[in-house]
Amino acid sequence: MAKPVVAIVGRPNVGKSTFFNRCIEESAAIVHDQPGVTRDRIYREAEWAGRKFLLVDTGGIVPDSREELTAAVRDQCNLAIEQADVLVFMVDGKAGLSGADEEVANLLRRARKPVILAVNKIDEPHQEANKLEFYKLGLGEPLSLSAMRGTGGVGDLLDQVVAAFGEAEEAAAEEEGDGTGPFSLAVVGRPNVGKSSLVNVLCGATRSIVTPVPGTTRDAVDTTIRFHGREVTLIDTAGIRRKSKVPYGVEAFSVVRSLTAIERADVAVLVIDASEPISDQDQKIGCKIDEAGKAAVVVYNKWDLVEDKSSGSMNRFIDAAHQALPHLKYAEVVFVSATAKTRVGKILEAAQRAFAESKRRVATGLVNQVVNEAVAVTPPPSGKRGRRLKIYYSTQVSVSPPTFVLFVNDTTLLAGSYLVYLERKLREAFGFAGTALRIVARAKSREK
């Protein structure tokens, strides 16, 4: 990690995610009364007193549990502790000191890293004395606060956090100045198509919790890696199911976060199960990616389960993807197997190409030349009363996605089929492979 890393740890339901959301000033982590909602590590950049750092929200540690998912959460917490430069140990001031708190304290002492003890849920002044019993943990002076209200010692806690960075912050400053162009990609798809497994292989380590149970991943989980010298942020998301099958509550919030992840990513990677036909839900997710105007890669995972792996078979799969996902015809199609760890690096290669194309700019003179030639070869169809569209001038106005404006005599005369034709001509001339494209018509005030 380039920036200093601060991990928030503790047993379940002590308010870690609430404190995390308050520090980053957004609702990135799901907050719910149900214990154990947070399962994976969630990373976000935070800033205090001019110091930037990465804040990590973790799942609740249950020291003695042997239940599979709880043990996996504990493993994720251990990885966060190992990676962190500073540890914020959060306890519940209302519930008081527990045996689980003492077990977590022993774990943190063995880490030999700066530990700041935060006594949360001190919502009223008369509850201030509740922090005294936590001196027994032997981790220094407890700081009382209310993460929900943002009162108490929140500022004092963050002061101690940034004071503990030391050499880690200096290393981060050097890393930020290396001039690489970072980008982010969201790994999305239906439940149980292998999204988290792919992210784990890309990271070279068990980064997200993977179980055979669809919906294990609830939060959109960010991981930063380096690929060909470039910083890439991978966003592993919850599986997106049909709205009618999603009950209100934690999973509903997860679906919203997955769709939000598409919005904030530079590239969307749509993962499809190669052993099954493309479903209606795959198609709907593809439409969401196109609506967001994102660069995209279509990934057939579980390619190891397909018997015929010939180039002819691949071409048939590509044709099926283009037919079922017409909005994503511009996306490169990649065939991988997360379990066999084959061709997974092709995803990042395709994503890098798609990101570069999404940033492509074309000179106005060249745009006009291509559009004028396209109109000369195939004139626009006649509209009502025999009126025909006239395109006076064309220019590219933005990137991500590349967006072109056509100044015309009447916007109502620009048929959807002709827009598709112009987009095809622009792609033939300039590429834009892997990225969405936008063409907007504006009426000119006076017809020439």
* Segment 289-326, tens digit of pLDDT: 999 999 999 999 999 999 999 999 999 999 999 999 99
Of 39-48, 95-104, 188-197, 206-215, give the range with the top mean pLDDT.
95-104
What is the chain's percent helix, strand, coil content, to nearest 5?
A: 40, 25, 40
State residue 40's pLDDT score: 55
Contact in structure between 208 and 200 (CB atoms under 8 Å) = yes
Q: Could you tell me the pLDDT band of residue 246, with boundaries at 50, 70 and 90?
A: very low
Average pLDDT on 118-147 reads 92
State residue 71's pLDDT score: 63
Of 7-11, 33-37, 82-86, 421-425, give the range with the top mean pLDDT.
421-425
Check residues 349 and 222 and name the one with the higher pLDDT.
349
Q: What is the pLDDT of residues 159-192, one digit of tens each?
A: 888 888 764 444 444 444 433 368 998 999 888 8
State residue 236's pLDDT score: 65
Q: What is the dihedral of CA 357, 363, 368, 370, to 10 degrees?
A: -40
What is the rounded CA–CA span in Å between residue 85 and residue 166?
Answer: 9
Average pLDDT on 410-434 reads 94
Decide: pTM greater than 0.75.
Answer: no
State residue 217's pLDDT score: 44
What percent of the chain has pLDDT above 90?
43
State residue 36's pLDDT score: 44
State residue 91's pLDDT score: 95
Say yes or no to pLDDT of 408 above 50.
yes
Which tokens belong to 387? 């009126």
Say yes or no to pLDDT of 211 above 80.
no
Say yes or no to pLDDT of 213 above 70.
no
Average pLDDT on 328-333 reads 96
Average pLDDT on 251-280 reads 78
Check residues 137 and 384 and name the one with the higher pLDDT.
137
Average pLDDT on 113-131 reads 92
Closest alpha carbon to 352 in 435, 250, 240, 238: 435
The amino acid at residue 10 is G
State residue 302's pLDDT score: 95
Contact in structure between 243 and 230 (CB atoms under 8 Å) = no
Average pLDDT on 210-227 reads 57
Which tokens belong to 370? 């291509």
Alpha carbon of 243 to those of 58, 190, 247, 285, 291: distances in Å? 28, 12, 8, 12, 18
Contact in structure between 237 and 258 (CB atoms under 8 Å) = yes
Domains annotated on the chain, with CATH? 5-176 (3.40.50.300), 183-358 (3.40.50.300), 364-443 (3.30.300.20)
Work out the number of other CB atoms within 10 angstroms of the CB of residue 390.
16
Q: Cβ neighbours of residue 281 under 8 Å, at least 6 residues apart? A: 190, 240, 241, 242
Specify the pairing of strand 332-335 against strand 51-57: unpaired
State residue 70's pLDDT score: 61
What is the rounded CA–CA span in Å between residue 257 and residue 282?
Answer: 17
Closest alpha carbon to 167 in 110, 227, 118, 114: 114
Say yes or no to pLDDT of 328 above 70.
yes
State residue 258's pLDDT score: 61
Site of tokens 């220019």: 395
Calculate the average pLDDT of the chain.
Answer: 81
What is the rounded CA–CA span in Å between residue 260 and residue 178?
Answer: 29
